[in-house]
Amino acid sequence: MSGDGSAPVVRIKDLHKSFGDLHVLTGLNLEVRPGECLGIMGGSGTGKSVALRHVIGLMEPDSGTVEVFGKEVAALSTKELRALRRRVGYVFQEGALVGWLTVEDNLALPLRERGKLSEPEIQERVAEALETVHVTGAGKNFPAEISGGMKKRVSIARALITRPELVLYDEPNAGLDPEISRSINALMREVSDKLGVTSLVVEHRIECLQRVADRVLFVHEGKVLVDEPTEAFFQPSHPRLRAFLGYQQEPAR
Amino acid sequence: MNPDSLPSWWPLLLTVLFAAALSHAIWNSNGPRALLEEAGARLVLLAAVFARLHHLPKRRGWLLIQVRSAAIGNLHVISLVGVFIGMIFALQAGIELARFGQQDQIGPLVAAGIAREMGPFITALVLASTYGSAMAAEMGTMAVSDELTALEVMSIDRISLLVLPRVVALAIVCPAMTVISDMVGIIGGGFVASAQLGVGWDLYLDSAFTSLSGLGQTIPIPKDVFGGLFKSFCFGIAVALISCASGISARGGALGVGRATSRAVRDATITIIVANYFLTWMIYR
Ligand SMILES: Nc1ncnc2c1ncn2[C@@H]1O[C@H](COP(=O)(O)OP(=O)(O)O)[C@@H](O)[C@H]1O
Ligand SMILES: [Mg+2]
């Protein structure tokens, strides 16, 4: 971890982003502290993915700042951005594994491209990563040949293989049935606890964040409305969040 | 219709129609500015590929795979098309030559026509429609399924990994396939020459190959063959570059991939035809 232990890993200040007339983020503020797993909850199309894209430097803010590891992402040179991205893992919603590479080659790709490790070392890391995500025996398969849950595991493994300090998850439960979702959530929790990786999880499924997050934010119309530890978050008092979570008039169960 | 009976404004009408069609095309392509920007982006991509040529040793595995699938996958198409092009050419030229009793000249005529023009041209068109479309679809699928973004996020050089091997592969395969289509084309012309025009095989082949062996002044290899192959080389690069670029810029799911693919084939075809004129002018003026 860079700097002193208490400095936030990600700090987003007053982030605004519009696409034409569509104001997606309207003053988003958040901090991710070292070692924690922060969940962001919000409906579809509220700009959760857009926020993540700012963190990894795929988009630039209209105004406001996004700092990762204490550096303002939009102000980095290409080289510095590359260096920053090497410290971050990104798990895409659809997995985004390279279709023409086997599972093993997908995992080895970032290491091979970086060219720092020898081939035996890479093989070792790949095997280790597959073990971490509890995938064995599918290494020689292509992504199209494995199940959705397996794909998600492999994409988590790919995000972890470079040993990042921060992992971003974009809707990790999307497209998975409840049982597989639970196992993926358990895996994410395991990664966060065992490897001590800081995590930022974007999801609209209650169960996922309940299981995985230490703290949850509720984003509505481009702003953070609620910021609570997980337990308290799911006993909501804010009317908008109550409506979102499906609580009617009766008090929280 | 007798040309004399056409009114004098006939060429003017043609010109106006042509101009109208052209402006319609430019209008539909989001204006000339977008067109220029697109062309500029492709030149930038070409420069980026050149700047990464030293990565080739590292990419030889992918290069080999691309070469193999581009060459072997299309060999039968090129051969079939090549034979028929040779036959058509011989037939058309033969009919005219026979009128003057000059059918003995069919060999050199077919050889030059194919080596200079039809071989490179048809090979590039076939590769654009078969392999170019496949490349655009592959890259487009990667683009719309976030795979390209994933590579970017992992700080992987996508041009070096994806575009470089494809461009170099077609720069090799296109001329190589042209040699094949030249050869089968000349042989196809021979079928027609011997079966339909009564020119002997020996005379045909002998005169065909003799005519091709005239060496160029600057480069001591047969000029017609070299000129054709140089064109092929350029066409190959253009096809790969255009296909990759339109694939990479695909957006919006399966529909976007479809659009990118058809745009790739369209643009490659136009580029081959237009570039053919300018390359021909450069080489043979
Ligand atoms: N690159 C873009 N160009 C235009 N509009 C975009 C772009 N990215 C996202 N949007 C729009 O921003 C809104 C928020 O998108 P997103 O962050 O993907 O939502 P979600 O919270 O479901 O992840 C959507 O309406 C989407 O259409
Ligand atoms: Mg999203």
Q: Counting atoms of ligand 1 from 1, which one is nearest the CA of A219? A: 21
Asked if residue A15 belongs to a domain, the reply is yes
Q: Can you give the CATH number for the domain in which A188 is found?
A: 3.40.50.300
Higher-pLDDT residue of A224 and A136 is A224
pLDDT reading at A134 higher than 90 = no
Count the alpha carbons within 13 Å of B33 in the hemisphere toward its beta carbon: 1
What is the residue whose two structure tokens read 């590929």?
B49
pLDDT reading at A12 higher than 50 = yes
How high is the pLDDT of residue B81?
Answer: 95
Cα-based distances in Å from A43 to A179, A205, A206, B19:
22, 9, 11, 51
Asked if residue A241 belongs to a domain, the reply is yes
Residues 6+ apart with CB under 8 A from B150: A90, A92, A96, A97, A98
Task: Please measure the distance between the N-terminal and C-terminal CA atoms of chain A and give it in whole angstroms.
Answer: 39
Q: Are residues A189 and A111 in the same domain?
A: no
Q: Chain B interface residues facing chain A, Cβ-Cβ under 8 Å?
A: 138, 141-142, 145-147, 149-157, 161
- A98 and B149 within 8 Å at the Cβ level: the answer is no
Q: Counting atoms of ligand 1 from 1, which one is nearest the CA of A47? A: 17
Q: Are residues A63 and A107 in the same domain?
A: no
Asked if residue A119 belongs to a domain, the reply is yes
Q: Are B171 and B232 in contact (CB under 8 A)?
A: no
Q: How do strand A63-68 and strand A71-72 relate by DSSP bridges?
A: antiparallel
Q: Are residues A82 and A178 in the same domain?
A: yes
How high is the pLDDT of residue B212?
Answer: 82
Pocket test for ligand 1, best of A24, A26, A169 (most atoms within 8 A of CB): A24
Q: How many domains does chain A have?
A: 2
* Euclidean distance between CA atoms A28 and A36, whole angstroms: 19
10 Å CB burial of residue A92 (0-12, 13-18, 19+) is buried
Mean pLDDT of B164-168: 96
* Euclidean distance between CA atoms A127 and A160, whole angstroms: 12
Q: Are B107 and B204 in contact (CB under 8 A)?
A: yes
Mean pLDDT of A240-251: 75
Q: Which residues in chain B have Cβ-Cβ distances shorter than 8 Å to A100? A: 138
Asked if residue A37 belongs to a domain, the reply is yes
Q: Are residues A169 and A159 in the same domain?
A: no
Which of A142, A163, A184 delimits the end of a domain?
Answer: A163
In this structure, what is the dihedral angle of CA atoms B145, B147, B152, B154, given to the nearest 10 degrees?
A: 130
Number of H helices, E strands in chain A: 9, 10
Percent of chain B with pLDDT over 90: 64
Task: Name the pTM for this structure.
Answer: 0.87
Q: Are residues A81 and A103 in the same domain?
A: no
- A98 and B150 within 8 Å at the Cβ level: the answer is yes
Percent of chain A with pLDDT over 90: 71
Q: How do strand A166-170 and strand A10-19 relate by DSSP bridges?
A: unpaired
Domain containing A19 equals 1-87+165-248
Mean pLDDT of B130-157: 95
Task: Please provide the DSSP assignment of A89-104 as one string.
Answer: EEE-TT----TTS-HH
pLDDT tens-digit map of B194-220: 998 888 899 999 888 888 877 656 666
pLDDT tens-digit map of A109-130: 999 998 889 999 999 999 999 9
Q: Where are the beta strands (DSSP E) in A204-247?
A: 215-220, 223-229
Q: Are residues A138 and A58 in the same domain?
A: no
Asked if residue A253 belongs to a domain, the reply is no
Which of A128, A163, A198 delimits the end of a domain?
Answer: A163
Count the alpha carbons within 13 Å of A168 in the hemisphere toward its beta carbon: 26
Question: φ and ψ at A38, to 5 degrees?
Answer: -100, 130
> Count of CB atoms within 10 A of residue B200's CB?
12
How high is the pLDDT of residue B263?
Answer: 93
Q: How long is chain A?
A: 253
- Tell which residue, B112, B120, B80, B75, has the closest CA to residue B186: B112
Question: φ and ψ at A18, to 5 degrees?
Answer: -125, 150
* Euclidean distance between CA atoms B166 and B186, whole angstroms: 29
- B149 and A94 within 8 Å at the Cβ level: the answer is no
- Ligand index nearest the alpha carbon of residue A40: 1
* Euclidean distance between CA atoms A46 and A223, whole angstroms: 9
* Euclidean distance between CA atoms B35 and B23, whole angstroms: 12
How high is the pLDDT of residue B210?
Answer: 85
Q: Are residues A157 and A207 in the same domain?
A: no
Task: Please provide the DSSP assignment of A18-65 as one string.
Answer: EETTEEEEEEEEEEE-TT-EEEEE--TTSSHHHHHHHHTTSS--SEEE
Q: Are residues A242 and A130 in the same domain?
A: no
The highest-confidence range among A193-197, A204-208, B121-125, by mean pLDDT, is B121-125
pLDDT tens-digit map of B65-77: 999 999 998 999 9
Higher-pLDDT residue of B223 and A74 is A74
Count the alpha carbons within 13 Å of B119 in the hemisphere toward its beta carbon: 33
Mean of the per-residue pLDDT values of chain A = 90
pLDDT tens-digit map of B107-122: 999 999 999 999 999 9
Kindly report the protein residue whose alpha carbon is nearest to atom 23 of ligand 1: A49
What is the residue whose two structure tokens read 């035996």?
A120
How high is the pLDDT of residue A2?
Answer: 44
Helix or strand holding residue A230 (H, E): helix A230-233
Higher-pLDDT residue of B32 and A173 is A173
Q: Are residues A38 and A119 in the same domain?
A: no
- Tell which residue, A252, A211, A222, A155, has the closest CA to residue A39: A211
Q: Are residues A158 and A40 in the same domain?
A: no
Query: Confidence band (pLDDT; 50, 70, 90) for A6?
Result: confident
* Euclidean distance between CA atoms A14 and B238, whole angstroms: 46
pLDDT tens-digit map of B232-280: 999 999 999 999 999 999 999 999 999 999 999 999 999 999 999 999 9
- A58 and B156 within 8 Å at the Cβ level: the answer is no
How high is the pLDDT of residue A1?
Answer: 43
Pocket test for ligand 1, best of A21, A44, A50 (most atoms within 8 A of CB): A50
How high is the pLDDT of residue B146?
Answer: 92
Alpha carbon A232 to chain centroid, angstroms? 22
